[in-house]
Copies of this chain bind each other. A is one copy, B any other.
Amino acid sequence: MVTADGHSAPAAVQVRQTAMRSHRCGDPRLADAGETVTVCGWVAHRRQHGQSLQFIDLRDYSGVIQCVVDGTVDVRSEYVLKITGLVTERPEGTVNEALATGQVELRDCKVEVLSVAKPPPFPLDDRADNVDESTRLTFRYLDLRRERMQRNLRIRSTVLAAIRTALSPLGFVEVETPLLMPSTPEGAREFIVPSRQFPGSFYALPQSPQLFKQLLMVGGADRYFQFARCLRDEDLRADRQYEFTQLDLEMSFVDQQDVLDVITSAVLAATEAITGGPVPPVETMTWQHAMDRYGVDKPDLRFGMELVELTEVFAGSGFKAFAGVGAVKGIRVPGGSASHNRKALDTLTDTAKKLGAKGLVWMRVGAAGALESPVAKFLSEAELAGIVEKTEAREGDLLLLVADEWTTACEVLGQLRNSLGRPPAGEGGFRFVWVVDFPQFVGIDKETGRPKPGHHPFTRPHPDDLDKLETEPLQVRSRAYDLVLNGWELGSGSIRIHEPELQQRIFDLIGISREEADRRFGFFLTPFGYGAPPHGGFAFGIDRLVASLAGEENIREVIAFPKTQSGLDPLTGAPTRVDERQLKELGVRVVAAVPPA
């Protein structure tokens, strides 16, 4: 990649050219016709054409090129070849519009077999999507050759680069925090690592770099970020792995909007790097608004069907189920009347009850706003008209109403809204939204009578609500915020408490004495006594963001080497038994063994 005169070739050449090839398989175009090129790659398809010729589709990550090769060359699927040939315009009628290289082919080919290959256990194209995942993971090195997986790998890499490029000019310092951490009983279950130097003692792998990111602020780092590798020993499912990567970020001398602005510019840069075009601006809404209108704290804005407030309509209703309850709310399913027969409605009602509602009221909207419903006869004309007006119901719609505690009404309808309207991954564009002003406390602990913290107890209360902390704790908003994409919570953050006095006030409220605080959080509170700056930060999961941008439902599709849902790596066989001698050095012994299946 250094030219004869010692200068570097331009990037476009450097990206494709090596000692073994002049072009990548996906590079040749009609404009290159007449040029002799050398490509290297894997045999994707092979078609014999009489005795004398064969067509070979040679594949690398950049694409596929058709090569016309002597029919006697012994070549099979997934052999690795080096082919030198003349870029030639394809004969009329044989152009393949689906391929970027489809207007040309290589002729007069010289073929060198670089590696032979056994037949792959499954076809390395879209048909592999239906192969059992455990097989795909056992042969991940073959699965990764597929266009879909190469694309996902590149999308992930592009997202990381775009975010770094967005943060880099803003004064952030990238810091790698330790993987060998102290064990903390707080939070999720952690992985531990026995120490050989001190047998019987253990490090813990980081669930997040929360401690260190805040210490960096106390240490004057001002603005920190890291793509942090984090691990949690929790049961796995489609959107969770033991290991995950989060964009971890913290800033000093800021308020909430400063943090939101930085993250907003980072995720928009990442999204535009993938979509290639402008993305809708990131909205901001309060938690109260999100619950009121979407019934969840992670609203999916790709579709309407918002929750409608109907409490006022039934303020003086004679229908007891609707009057004097906390709230009556409804959603309108456009055109849903015909698509929901009685059985479907019963299922929805069951779902609502399972979610905690006392019941679900359905109404079919007929001509001229007539409402057909089991409860219609209990409602006044004015109430019926009020429903139609507030929900903007039209003929053929289906209305679903819940009357209950405000929280229950919101949550049940929010779940129904999602299950009835949510588009699949990859559809409906990318709708980011900040949810802010989360409650500082999420209820009163029945045993202790004390408020329960909504986030961790270091989250800063909203400055306007400080005087309500002791008197009306459930009315206190916090400086906590979530970033939501298409109904997925990407991550969360907060402005932190930096003053020991305010921190102790919160601890007092939730029933943590000074002694208990020192014992549990001393590693945190001691540094803050030496002069902590006001600061706040954010962390969000890269796996979920990348999956969304790649149109994948399952984060395992955007992780190069994921574990199965039971935590196995079918490729390497991890986890495994280890040497007794090694365990002895660490001062531990296995006392119960369940071998991996």
Chain A interfacial positions (CB closer than 8 Å to B)? 1-2, 8, 11, 14-16, 18-21, 24, 40, 42, 59-62, 78-80, 82, 114-118, 120, 139-145, 149-150, 153-154, 156-157, 160-161, 164, 168-183, 185, 189, 191-205, 211-212, 215-216, 218-222, 227, 229, 231, 233, 242-243, 245, 251-255, 257-258, 261-262, 265, 498-499, 523, 527-534, 559-561, 563, 566-567, 569, 571-579, 582, 584, 586-596
A19 to B495, CA, bound (A): 13
A253 to B530, CA, bound (A): 56
Copies of this chain present in the complex amount to 2
A221 to B150, CA, bound (A): 7
- Contact yes or no, B202 A578, CB < 8 A: yes
- Contact yes or no, B215 A141, CB < 8 A: yes
- Contact yes or no, B220 A205, CB < 8 A: no
Q: Which B residues lie within 8 Å of A529 (CB)?
A: 117-118
A576 to B183, CA, bound (A): 7
The A interface is mostly helix, strand or loop, or mixed, namely loop
Q: Which B residues lie within 8 Å of A528 (CB)?
A: 115
A15 to B301, CA, bound (A): 32
Given A80-B532, A141-B527, 13 additional A-B pairs, CB 8 A? A40-B533, A61-B173, A115-B531, A178-B569, A179-B179, A182-B575, A192-B586, A199-B594, A201-B577, A201-B595, A202-B576, A523-B571, A523-B572
- Contact yes or no, B212 A61, CB < 8 A: no
For residue A184, give the distance in angstroms from its CB to the closest CB of chain B: 9
A193 to B194, CA, bound (A): 7
- Interface pairs (11), CB distance under 8 Å: A19-B255, A20-B254, A20-B534, A114-B533, A145-B220, A157-B174, A195-B596, A200-B590, A201-B595, A212-B560, A587-B592
A16 to B116, CA, bound (A): 58
Q: Which B residues lie within 8 Å of A523 (CB)?
A: 571-573
Other-chain residue from B144, B242, B595 in contact with A198 (beta carbon distance below 8 A): B595
Other-chain residue from B1, B78, B532, B577 in contact with A262 (beta carbon distance below 8 A): B1
Specify the chain B residue showing the minimal Cβ separation from A159. Answer: B174
Q: Which B residues lie within 8 Å of A531 (CB)?
A: 42, 78-80, 115-117
Q: Which B residues lie within 8 Å of A575 (CB)?
A: 180, 182-183, 193, 195, 198, 201-203
- Contact yes or no, B175 A590, CB < 8 A: no
